[in-house]
Amino acid sequence: MLDNFQAVIFDMDGILIDSEPLWRQASMEIFTSLGVEMNKELLNKTSALSSLDFCKVWYSHQPWEGMSFEEIDKEIEKRVLQIIEEKDVTIPNVKQTIDFFYNRGFKIALASNSSLYYVNRVLKKLNVEKYFSIVASAEQVENAKPAPDLYLHVANELKVKPEKCIVFEDSIVGITAAKAANMFVITLPAQEDFSKHEFDIADKKIKSFAQLLKELKKSVV
């Protein structure tokens, strides 16, 4: 399998770090302070959107006064980073997976809907900056995920054809973006989402990076 590919692109939230619960916590804190009633179903549906798109959806659900989308975006991000600094939220075996590809000469990149400031803070916290030749944010393209723009941008920066890229994603939004870019997608859904059929559009579905590493090591023996 690996002979067909030249690059690996990682999403961040839910792939490098278990931060989805933190974004939910921070979002609920900020929006509740504005008088917005939080709907868990809508929160789950919007959790993988960029922060600005997230705000737009919630504003259409229940408008508020006092803070702009941009101000809320910054406050949520600030709160998430505070929690990340206090906790170890690394996804188990993701560092070993990055190392596996790095040692075999793959180009490695990161593509996130989050801001570059946030992304770089997290990479520094995890001490994995050296692995990534390209770090890209939705800030750098016209349309965030689920549009393919970000993944196509990364492939262009890597100078690798999209079909030669493996993408790791945990959300339907991200999978949709990567598939639209004609990339091979491996998904690591949240445990409670693993059996949902929406994730079947990915090329491969895994329960853990430990499982994937076993399969990869067998394939190169």
Residues 6+ positions from 196 with CB-CB distance below 8 Å:
189
What CA–CA distances, in Å, run from 198 to 61, 82, 171, 177, 195? 24, 32, 10, 14, 9
Look up 13 and say whether it is catalytic.
Answer: yes
Q: Which residue has the tokens 């598939």?
A: 179
Separation between Cα atoms, residue 46 and residue 55, nearest integer Å: 9
189-217 core/surface letters (b: 16 or more CB in 10 A; e: else) = bbeeeeeeeebeebeebbeebeebbeebe
Catalytic annotation on 88? no
Residue 41 CB neighbours (<10 A): 7
Of 3, 13, 88, 203, which is the active-site residue?
13
**CA pair distance 100, 69, nearest whole angstrom:** 40
User: Which residue is catalytic, options 3, 11, 73, 200?
Assistant: 11
Give yes or no for a contact between 169 and 187, defined as CB atoms under 8 angstroms apart. Answer: yes
Which sequence positions are flagged as catalytic? 11, 13
